[in-house]
A and B are shown apart, each in its own frame.
Chain A
Amino acid sequence: GQQVMQIPQYQHVQEGEDFTTYCNSSTTLSNIQWYKQRPGGHPVFLIQLVKSGEVKKQKRLTFQFGEAKKNSSLHITATQTTDVGTYFCAGPDDYKLSFGAGTTVTVRA
C-alpha cells in the first residue's frame, strides 16, 4: 500500500530561525494535505496542494508540491513559539488519508 515518509522526525529550532520539513510518498499523489497538531490537540487542516510544482504560502509557511507529485515540503521562516507542534503530511489513498509520522517541532526562545 501507499507509504508516506516524513523527515526529520524532530526539529529543534532557535526562535527566529528557518527550517524545512520534507514529505515523500511511495506513489504518485493526486494531492497532498498538511495538518498541524498542537501538543495535546488534534490534527488541524492547514493546506492542500493539487498541481505539480504548486507553491502556496500562508504567512511564514511555504508549502511546495514536487513536480512528480511524489514529494512535498513545508518551509517555515522566522520560527515563533506558536509554531510548536507536529506537522503531518497526508496523501489520499482512495477516500482515506495516509499520514506520515510527522515532524515534531520545538522552539528555543
Chain B
Amino acid sequence: DTGVSQNPRHKITKRGQNVTFRCDPISEHNRLYWYRQTLGQGPEFLTYFQNEAQLEKSRLLSDRFSAERPKGSFSTLEIQRTEQGDSAMYLCASSLGGGHVDTQYFGPGTRLTVL
C-alpha cells in the first residue's frame, strides 16, 4: 500500500501522560499536514510542513503540542500532559505540492482517547 500511513491507529492514555503519533506520507509528496477531527465536525487544520520546514501552525496547537518532520519524510506529532479535551481523531495528509491545485490525501488517522 503506497498511501499515507499512521501509527498507532488507536491510543488510550491517562490524563497527564505524553503521547506521540507517527505519519508516513506518500513517498514523493513534499507537503505534510496534521488535522484534528472531533465527532460531527470536519477536520481542523493543526500544522503544515513543506519538506522539513514547519511553515504554519494553527492557534489550536497549544504549547503542549509539537510536530516534527526531521528529514522531510515521516512526521511525528507529540502531545504533552494530555487533557480530556485532546480526545479526537488525529489525521495526517500529504500532497505533492506545486501548482495552485494540490490534492491532499489522508491517512487512516490515530484515534486518541484521554481518560
Contact = CB atoms under 8 A, between A and B. Distances in A.
**Number of chain B interface residues as a range:** 20 to 34
A91 to B, nearest CB: 11
Contact of B45 (A31, A35, A96): A96
B72 to A, nearest CB: 16
A45 B56 contact: no
B69 interface: no
16 contacts: A30-B100, A45-B104, A45-B105, A88-B42, A90-B42, A95-B31, A95-B33, A95-B50, A95-B55, A96-B48, A96-B56, A97-B43, A97-B45, A99-B43, A101-B41, A101-B42
A97 B104 contact: yes
Contact of B108 (A35, A41, A95): A41
Contact of B56 (A42, A43, A94, A99): A94
Interface of B: 31, 33, 40-45, 48, 50, 55-56, 89, 91, 100-109
Query: A interface, by DSSP: helix, strand, loop or mixed?
Result: strand
Contact of B101 (A31, A43, A101): A31
B109 A95 contact: no
